[in-house]
Amino acid sequence: MPPLDNNQDRAGRLADLRAAMRREGIDAFVVPSSDPHLSEYLPARWKGREWLSGFSGSVGTFIATQEFAGVWTDARYWEQAEAELAGSGVQLMKIPSGASVIWIDWLAATLQPGQTAALDARVLGLATMRQLDLALTTRGIKLRTDTDLLDHVWGQRPELPADPVYEHQSPHSTLSRADKLAATRAEMARLGASYHFISTLDDIAYLFNLRGADVNYNPVFLAHALVGPRDATLYVGGGKLPGEVEARLAEDGVRLAPYADAAQALGALPAGAVLLADPRRITAGMRAAVAPGVKVVEAVNPTTFAKSRKTDDEARHVRATMEQDGAALCEFFAWLEPLLDDPQRPRLTELDIDAHITAARARREGFVCPSFGTIAGFNANGAIMHYRATPHAHAVIEGEGLLLIDSGGQYLGGTTDITRVVPVGTPSADQKRDFTLVLKGTIALSSAVFPRGTKSPMLDALARAPLWAAGMDYGHGTGHGVGYFLNVHEGPQSISPSTPPDPHTAMEPGMITSVEPGLYKPGRYGIRIENLVLNVPFQTTEFGEFLRFETLTLCPIDTRCLDLSIMRPDEVAWLNAYHETVRARLAPHVSGAALAWLQRRTEAV
């Protein structure tokens, strides 16, 4: 999708949209950040909110009336949104978290009885649609869900992606497709369902041991799936799967059908069938397509739980992947630090960070692509939680300050996500204090022992406590699940105060989660320290099973930013033990300047 050139472009697009709304009798039109699969990262065809407003963050809801246009987004994107929406006529509407549906309350309060709100039900989650429908109909406001006005005004709307689909094969694929289908059908039977419909792309990729490149950073492909008692149908674009892959799918009872036929298939289910569908992971449009005589059982997709609990073999591959990723980072930092220490260094920008860190990973075994867009933010840009440097807007790294680097890779043997902060020059006393408080939060959560089944949001306060004690906090969750060569953001677990502690958020062995407390001083600097951790057994007592975290990420934490005077002896011991492990695991994979850098940055404090 080409970027907006100026505010005149956006004004013209809004004018066209409002004209279409008048023709259709629509008083408010809603564009969520979503697609028919409720994806986080969207194919270009469904980036309508960005096309209309210019705001490019991954979370946000756009609403236009004849008098108003706004984007609702959370604290991670406020600074970015203010910059990207400036002068556009689109207002930033601040919400407490990405899961908030305050925009529904705004619609219900703003529209008058008899007026009409509209959106495309094919891209809105069923659970959200139910909240919206209740809020509007209670006030006598009409809700229209059968139209996508973007088709009326987006003259060169991108087509569906056509990238090929391939198999995730042994040894990295550790469970067979047949075994995964059998486990899914067993769970269907337990819930009394004869059919199961899946739209979420990572669930489909996991279940069928397939990968693709239809969505940036996530190795997934556009498809829906319908699993029956004895066979399954994969609704996918024609020609995307090689013949030999199609043949192997057929051996496992999986047939292919056109992508556009999925809704029709739901409408053709036999009367008396029982369909399992996840209301958090299916759109309202797909739910509405289900034949009237079909009973629907609502529960979390079985694959959501299955793929979150990595097998011992998958964990072994992830550990090996972390060594490759850590070695790449050693090479990257061995290149970067001499430049930062050179007062006569050539011009270095945030874009150079992205290019070189990706190149270092690309030289490593099993690397496929980045797992998200690299965040390289110097000084004030580091305070923008989801900052992304672009050719048109980026900083030169000069003078003194802090450089925050959040990056990750997709490898055949796992997905990585890591954040480190590098001092440029000599960090100030305030910067050292803030960095150390964030590290204390990382250590506190990483060292936790907790009962199996603990609701993941309950762990969030452990990481915040050191910052809270200093009167500080941060505006994002502390941890998200991470896939196995799948989405870098994966459920069902989430260590966040905005996540309800529902039963499905329980911590179980094999889950991989990020630990990433932070601190952000707008206009000055940002700090975040992020590792990935694995839930592993700790002990079983008369009180039940207890789990702990194994830190998977292997990369030094910069001790030049520490204020040792506010660290306890046990915290210093944790850091020294971590660095000893990092050095031992990575040293066999690096040499020369990278090895020297590793040894220097893992010296005990």
> How much is the average pLDDT of 434-456?
98
Per-residue pLDDT, 77: 83
411 and 366 Cβ atoms separated by less than 8 Å: yes
Contacts of 6 (CB under 8 A, 6+ apart): none
Q: Which CATH number fits domain 7-153: 3.40.50.150, 3.40.50.1000, 3.40.350.10, 3.40.50.2300?
A: 3.40.350.10
DSSP H helices, 289-347, are 302-308, 312-341
Q: Which CATH architecture has domain 166-307?
A: 3-Layer(aba) Sandwich (3.40)
Could you report the per-residue pLDDT of 480-539, keeping only the tens digit for each?
999 999 999 999 999 999 899 999 999 999 999 999 999 999 999 999 999 999 999 999
Domain spans in the chain, listed from the N-terminal domain onward: 7-153, 166-307, 309-597
Q: List helix spans (H) across 342-501.
A: 350-362, 429-446, 460-469
Lowest mean pLDDT, pick from 57-66, 175-184, 312-321, 596-605:
57-66
Assign 9 a pLDDT band (cuts: 50, 70, 90): confident
- Under the banding of pLDDT at 50, 70 and 90, the label for residue 8 is low
2 pLDDT band (50/70/90 cuts)? Answer: very low
Closest CA to 420 of 347, 527, 342, 345: 527
Q: Give pLDDT tens digits for 279-336.
A: 999 999 999 999 999 999 999 999 999 999 999 999 999 999 999 999 999 999 999 9
Task: Find residue 226's DSSP bridge partners.
Answer: 197, 233
Task: Please tell me the CATH superfamily of domain 309-597, with its number.
Answer: Creatinase/methionine aminopeptidase superfamily (3.90.230.10)
Beta bridge partners of 572: none
Give tens-digit pLDDT for 12-45: 999 999 999 999 999 999 999 999 999 988 999 9
Residue 573 has pLDDT above 90, yes or no: yes
In terms of C-beta density within 10 A (0-12 exposed, 13-18 middle, 19 or more buried), how is residue 20 classed? middle
Inform me whether the pLDDT recorded for 72 exceeds 70.
yes
- Predicted pLDDT of residue 7: 64
Report, as an integer, the average pLDDT of 192-218.
97
Q: Which pLDDT value is given to residue 344? A: 77
Give Cβ neighbours of residue 19 (< 8 Å, ≥ 6 apart): none
3-state SS record for 292-306 = CCCEEEECCCHHHHH
Question: Dmax over Cα atoms in the chain, in whole Å?
Answer: 76
57 or 329: which carries more pLDDT confidence? 329
pLDDT in the model for residue 1: 41
Residue 6 has pLDDT above 70, yes or no: no
Separate counts of helices (H) and strands (E) for the chain? 18, 28
Contact 368, 205 (CB under 8 A): no
In sequence order, what DSSP letters do the residues of 464-498 get, joined into one string? HHHHHHTT---SS-SEEE--SSS-SSEEEEEE-TT
Q: Check pLDDT > 60 for residue 442.
A: yes
Checking DSSP bridges between strand 490-495 and strand 479-481, what pairing results, if any?
Answer: antiparallel
Instruction: Answer yes or no: same fold for 7-153 and 166-307.
Output: yes
